[in-house]
Amino acid sequence: MQKALFLDRDGVINIDHGYVYKIEDFEFTEGIFELLRFFIEKGYLLFIVTNQSGIGRDYYSEEDFQVLTSWMLDEFKKENIDIISVHHCNHSPEKNCACRKPQTGMIDKILSQNVIDLGSSWLIGDKQSDIDLAKNSKIKNTIAIGERTIENTSLSFKTILECRDYFDDNKIKIL
């Protein structure tokens, strides 16, 4: 069984400017590459799970999302970061789909394709729905990023940079 790190995208990997779909608006958060490399060094598989209701709301297209995703994955590769797969929910909230976080559809899909030990896995998000997804999917460890008040999280940090520094100091013990 392998350990996994499940990542939200907007607000974690990139600065959340709201419905980001263009490459020129996609700004990696400071420290994210180093943080992800800590997890990779410790044997974690990386997955991205992202709500993209902007597609269902017609703010941008599925193709826009896919073009941005390929570019993002190339940038990660240049940084020696391999993402196993990217999963997105393209529905608007009214659809009440099974994949919009905190519903577990995206994690269920990942678990159908990979053998993951959820008890030693982590999820990083910036909204309550991310942390609730972890709880609903039985992903044991969570990190909340940002200024929002988020309940039931294992750890929380104002920024990815603070999170990176914490793991830099403690990764031997934690990961």
Interface positions with Zn ion (CB under 5 A): 89, 91, 97, 99-100
Binding flag, residue 132, Mg ion (CB under 5 A): no
Active site residue 25: no
Cβ-based nearer residue to Zn ion, 97 or 111:
97
Cβ-based nearer residue to Mg ion, 45 or 133:
133
105-113 and 128-137 helices cross at what angle (nearest 10)? Answer: 50
Which of the choices Zn ion, Mg ion, none does residue 100 contact, using the CB cut-off of 5 to 8 A by kind? Zn ion
Hey, CA dihedral for 15, 86, 106, 55, is it positive or negative? Answer: positive
Rounded to a whole number of angstroms, the minimum distance from the CB of residue 97 to Zn ion is 3
Cβ-based nearer residue to Zn ion, 53 or 153:
53
Instruction: Give me the half-sphere count of Cα atoms (radius 13 Å) on the Cβ side of residue 59.
Output: 14
Active site residue 126: no
Which of the choices Zn ion, Mg ion, none does residue 99 contact, using the CB cut-off of 5 to 8 A by kind? Zn ion
Partners of 30 in the β-ladder:
none
Size of the site for Mg ion (CB under 5 A): 4
**According to CB under 5 A, which one of 4, 8, 32, 110 is a site residue for Mg ion?**
8
Binding flag, residue 11, Mg ion (CB under 5 A): yes
Rounded to a whole number of angstroms, the minimum distance from the CB of residue 21 to Zn ion is 17
Binding flag, residue 10, Mg ion (CB under 5 A): yes
Residues annotated as part of the active site: 8, 10
Q: Which residues bind Mg ion (CB under 5 A)?
A: 8, 10-11, 126
